[in-house]
Structures are given as C-alpha cells and as structure tokens.
Structure 1
C-alpha cells in the first residue's frame, strides 16, 4: 500500500489544490477524496492487524491514517456542504503529529528527505487550520502550496520508489535540494502574500 497509497494521495492533493485555485468544482473533487480516504483508512487497519505488531511497524503504518481521515473528512465536508471548522481544528492536530514525525525522522532515522517532507506536510496541514479553523482568506496561497506538494512529496516520490531508484544517493541529494527550494518558495510566497494583503488594505490617500 505504501507507494500506491502515496500515488493516490498525490492525485487527491492535486485535485484539492485545483479546487482551492478555482479550477475544479467542489463536489466532483469530494468524490475522489472519499474514494482515496476510504482506501487509506481500510487498508492500514488490515495491514496493522496482520503485521508483526512491532512498534516501528505500527508507527509507520499509522501515518496512512493521517491522510486517510483527512481525505474522508474533506470529502464529506465538501459533498455535504458542511462547516469546515471541525476539519480545520483536526488539521491542527495532524500538523502537530507531523512535526513529531519530522523530529523522529531526523533524530532516530537520520533521514533528511523524510524530515523535510514531514515539515512540508506539517506546514500544509497548519495552513488548512488557518483557512478552515480560523477562517483566514488564504485559499489561493494554500492551493499553490498544495499543488507543489502533490508532486514533490507524493506523486514523484511514489513513482521513483516503484521504479526502484528512490533510495539511490543521487536521487536523495536531488530531493533534499528540491525540498529545500520548495520550502524557501513557500516562505517567500507567504511573505509576499502577506505584504500584498497588508498593502491592499491600506486606504487610498487623496490630494484633497
């Protein structure tokens, strides 16, 4: 399920980004979210049940639930036209869990690619919290971040892993640079977005 699940997550996040950017209709995107979420909740339950029950096995498989329940929650919220505040606060909880996974990836596994990936996911879930939990008008910015992450944290890594080259030293080095550049872009874009918001809210001065 691991690589296939990442690929499905990449598709779901890609569609969600297009919806946030105003390119896709909400209910049509909701259908795929429900489909992806159902798979990523049902399959981990089975994998955990038949696993060796070792702590790191369960720790790894549990990450799929974070995506699965997010997609289910998004899907039903969009399809039923529900208030998104609950989803927003759930996203805050997931962003905190993602930070913990980032720390473990760095400290225990010494895996810089996974560390940077979890940092990006934590940031994205936190943006969902700001947007839906606190009602911040940042959909366009969140859409851009989600679009980029759908490719560099999910779609391409899953394809590279399935082709057997993901763990090669060359790809690891490239992906560390790709992740660092993406994070730099997110920070720069956030500062620019905030600056535009601030300046656009300033009153127009008259010569009278």
Structure 2
C-alpha cells in the first residue's frame, strides 16, 4: 500500500525491511532455526535506527522526503546493513556450547 495507495515508496522500503525482520523472528523463535540467531540480532540492531528513529526524526523536523529515487537509496542502504549483519554474525567471539543436547531456548 505504501508503494501504490499512499504513494510513499520510502516507507514501502521500510515496511519491506520490517517484513524481513519479522520473517527472521519467525524462523528463529517459531521454527527454532538457532543458526540464524546471531544474524537476526545484528539485523535488528543495525536496522532499528534507520527504519524507526531516522524516519521519525525526519518527519518531526519536516525534512522527510519520498520519491522512487530516494526509496532506491534507502533500499540499497538497508540491504548494505543486512550484509554487514551477515559479516558480523559470522564472526564468533564466544565459546561454543559444550553439551551437544543443551537447549538453545529456555
């Protein structure tokens, strides 16, 4: 609807980013895909500011602009942040679990 009825493609891109985040939550929490946990965490951390705080600030300050070109820039930026989340989630800084059947969720 953001792309067609409301004519706000930037917000359409933001909604697509949140749809991806909700899909990740479903995969990790609903289907127990534990290997996506770190990626999901980093995705939430990295996408939270540009998809919530930044648009809110721009709207409150009267500087929010939307057009297909601006939406494309947002899409590229958010996709880049997902790639950064992928890289950060691949870097392991903690010790692996010692018990093979230790539950991932409590």
User: Structures share a fold, TM > 0.5?
Assistant: yes
Secondary structure at 2:63's aligned position in 1? coil
Which of 76, 79, 84 lines up with 1:180 in the alignment?
A: 76
* Aligned residue number for residue 49 of structure 2: 151
Partner SS state of residue 124, structure 1: helix
1:119-166 Cα shifts (integer Å, max 9, x gaps): 000000010000100111122111111112211110111111111111
In the alignment, does 2:38 pair up with 1:140? yes
Match of 1:111 in 2: 8
- Cα drift, residue 189 of structure 1: 5.4
Larger radius of gyration: 1
Q: TM-score, normalised by structure 2?
A: 0.66
Query: Partners of 1:136 and 1:145 in 2: how far apart?
Result: 15
Asked if structure 2 preserves the Cα contact closer than 8 Å seen for 1:116 and 1:180, the reply is no
Q: Which residues of structure 1 form unaligned runs of 5+? A: 1-103, 195-208
Whole-angstrom CA distance in 2 between matches of 1:186 and 1:155? 17
How far has the Cα of 1:181 moved from its partner?
Answer: 2.5
Q: Deviations over 1:108-127 (max 9, x none)?
A: 22321011111000000010
* 1:23-52 deviations in Å (ceiling 9; x for gaps): xxxxxxxxxxxxxxxxxxxxxxxxxxxxxx
* 4+ runs deviating over 6 angstroms: none
Greater helix proportion = 1
Higher relative contact order (CA 8 A, sep 6+): 2
Change (3 A) 1:168 1:186: closer
Q: Does 1:167 align with 2:65?
A: yes
Cα pair distance change 1:108/1:142, threshold 3 Å: same
Give TM-score, length-normalised by structure 1.
0.36
